[in-house]
Amino acid sequence: MEEKFTVFNIFKLLGGLAFFLYGMNVMSTGLEKLTGGKLEVALKKMTSNKIKAILLGMGVTIAIQSSSAMTVMLVGFVNSGIMTLEQTIGVCFGSNIGTTFTAWILCLGDIKDSGGGGVLQFCLKMLKPESFSPLVALVGIIMIMAAKKNKKKDIGRILVGFSVLMTGMTLMSDSADPLANSPKFQQMLTAFENPVLGVLVGAGFTGIIQSSAGSIGILMVFSRSGALTYSMALPIIMGCNIGTCVTALLSTFGVSKDAKRVAWTHILVKIIGTIVLLPIIMILNSGLHLSILSETVGYVGIATMHTIFNVATTVMFLPFTKQLVALSKLVVRDGKEAEVDPRRTLTGLDERLLKTPSVAVEACRTATMEMAELTKETICRALGLLLEYDKDIADAVIEDEDIIDSFEDKINHYLLKISKSSVTGADSRRVAKMMHCVGNFERISDHAVNLVESAQECHDKGIMFSEECRTEIQILTDAISENIAKAFEAYATDDLAVARMVEPLEEVVDNLSTELKNRHIRRLQNDECTVELGYIFQDVLTNLERVSDHCSNIAGIIIETDEKTYFHSYLQDVRENDEGFQKAYREYAEKFFKRLDTVDSSAN
């Protein structure tokens, strides 16, 4: 008895679609976490080489199994200044090709076995989703429950997501099997002989579910009825490719003009590709009577057309990337945008990137590097003012400190949002490291302002440190400048060897400061210095010590994060047992205290 298509088949179809979309989401999220910030690093290294850009776009999209997520990332990168509009074109082309990989995976659902025994028949049966999905799910669940490392848990989630996806595909296929014998369905399909309707239906449905993989999967399921031909399926596939751009378009609210153009470039490629290719195929069919278009299409046929369309549009537009950019600028015209002080903007902090936490973490590191560079420049300027006051430089330091304060607020706010997302253990440690470091950057800028105030007080009152005292300050600031350079280099490069050199120099700075305080007391006792200058000198030394302490904190955070050890325990151990630490300390001490001895000699 033939099974009839009923409302329960519709329920099953919708349930299968829900499983499919949820499985795709779980798998994509797991893949994004597994790839980590490598995606952002790779994309930032983009060059003008179009072929490399296409290959990269393909690789990333296959890795995260979502062209929509890829395009949203590109919108975020351009909006935050990480990439330019021109750099995204090749990546978009590659992403369009990479997204077709999912359709080929779904072709596993169409594998037929003729029954019987034998190794070949067993292997063919194992390739069917209903055979291997339960096993894949079991392995994934075991990994999630038993694994201790987050990376293995993520792999387990990917396997479970893939299993759920394939189970959803199986449910949809089973629900659609009765359609083969449904006259009403056969009659409905004849409407899709109109290619314009096919494009509109494909675009509309994909726009609603925001997944071209989901709509292609349903199209494959309907092909099981045996009534869907190549000529009917092709316009729907083209429509599906247009509809998947909805997600990118929705991500453009509140972004820069160039970021909007990224999404529109993606849409224009699909629309123009459809407008050009579909009529060509129809004209060729009317003239040459292409027999293949009237043949029944299956899973492999749909996947092939999906791939050919995206490859064809890439080949078609590849020589005209400049014209494509120009066209996007016609669609999104230049207009008045709110003027933003470029010095107060940070590269990388874009809310859209939070959908891919691992990418957001790496993008946030770009922002912290900008803050670190500004902090380094600010404190070095302030140190120079102690010996030669300049009002313009002093005002610049105060203004920069205000900018650094705003950077700290923005970065910490962004990092807090990332920490609430599902991030890997490694990314979680990087978030913690950045939170600690930006706090130390901000405190260093505060001490820079304090040093400016001390220098300004001397200037306003017309008082000046003695030549001996100025030389001593120069020696101490030279030591601190070297420590600042090492601490910030360690942060920029994550170089443990450089980080380990900060603490020996920090101890030398502490000892230098103590020695300078003792020398100053002797000058006060010998009436070689005034009490007023003494207070200012003490403030200067205190702030210089604090700056060095924060350099030590930055290096300590790097050591704690990378070596997974408490910094204070590390310090106690190296001070007592590490010959390298003691050797570095002796070298720094000899270098700077030898200069102090020279001051004594010249004074005598």
Give 4's DSSP letter: P
Q: What is the pLDDT of residues 279-312, one digit of tens each?
A: 998 888 887 777 888 888 888 999 999 999 999 9
Question: What pLDDT was estimated at residue 557?
Answer: 86
Instruction: Look over the chain and give the mean of its residue pLDDT values, rounded to a whole number.
Output: 82
CA 83, CA 43: separation in Å to the nearest integer?
8
Could you tell me the pLDDT band of residue 371, with boundaries at 50, 70 and 90? very high
Residue 408 pLDDT > 90: yes
Question: What pLDDT was estimated at residue 113?
Answer: 60
Question: What pLDDT was estimated at residue 572?
Answer: 65
CA 494, CA 177: separation in Å to the nearest integer?
57
Question: What are the start-end ranges of the H helices in 117-194?
Answer: 119-126, 129-146, 150-176, 183-189
Question: What pLDDT was estimated at residue 601?
Answer: 45
Beta bridge partner(s), residue 305: none
Question: What pLDDT was estimated at residue 131?
Answer: 76
Q: What is the dihedral of CA 263, 266, 272, 278, to 10 degrees?
A: -130
CA 79, CA 517: separation in Å to the nearest integer?
51
Residue 114 pLDDT > 60: no
Least confident range of 37-46, 270-279, 288-297, 376-385: 37-46
Q: What is residue 178's three-state secondary structure?
A: helix
Residue 5 pLDDT > 80: no
Could you tell me the pLDDT band of residue 187, with boundaries at 50, 70 and 90? low
- Residue spans of the domains in the chain: they are 7-331, 353-603
Task: Give the length of the chain.
Answer: 604
Residue 66 pLDDT > 80: no
Beta bridge partner(s), residue 314: none
What is the number of helices (H) and of strands (E) in the chain? Answer: 26, 0
Question: What pLDDT was estimated at residue 123?
Answer: 72
206 and 245 Cβ atoms separated by less than 8 Å: no
Residue 379 pLDDT > 90: yes
Q: What is the pLDDT of residues 486-533, one digit of tens each?
A: 999 999 888 888 988 888 898 999 999 998 888 888 877 777 777 788
CA 296, CA 227: separation in Å to the nearest integer?
6
Least confident range of 113-127, 201-215, 229-243, 430-444: 113-127
Question: What pLDDT was estimated at residue 518?
Answer: 87
Residue 179 pLDDT > 70: no
Residue 121 pLDDT > 70: no
Question: Shortest CA distance to 404 belongs to which of 363, 361, 467, 447?
Answer: 447
Q: Chain centroid to CA 383: how far?
A: 36
Q: Which of 1-5, 189-193, 249-253, 452-456 is most confident?
A: 452-456
Could you tell me the pLDDT band of residue 603, with boundaries at 50, 70 and 90? very low
Question: What pLDDT was estimated at residue 567?
Answer: 61
Q: Which top CATH class is 353-603?
A: mainly alpha
| Alpha carbon separation from 249 to 43, 252, 321, 360 (Å, rounded) | 21, 6, 20, 20
299 and 109 Cβ atoms separated by less than 8 Å: yes
Question: What pLDDT was estimated at residue 391?
Answer: 92
**pLDDT, greater one: 105 or 423:** 105
Question: What pLDDT was estimated at residue 307?
Answer: 93
420 and 440 Cβ atoms separated by less than 8 Å: no
Could you tell me the pLDDT band of residue 61, with boundaries at 50, 70 and 90? confident
Question: What pLDDT was estimated at residue 448?
Answer: 94
Kindly report each contact of residues 159-163 with a partner whose C-beta sits within 8 Å and lies 24 or more positions away, as own/partner.
Answer: 160/26, 160/136, 161/22, 161/23, 161/24, 161/25, 161/26, 161/27, 161/28, 161/29, 161/30, 162/23, 162/27, 162/136, 163/23, 163/133, 163/134, 163/136, 163/137
Percent with pLDDT over 70 in the chain: 86
Q: What is the pLDDT of residues 211-263, one digit of tens each?
A: 888 888 888 888 887 778 898 899 999 999 898 888 888 777 777 888 888 88
Q: What is the dihedral of CA 41, 43, 48, 54, to 10 degrees?
A: 140
Residue 203 pLDDT > 50: yes
Residues 254-277 have a mean pLDDT of: 88
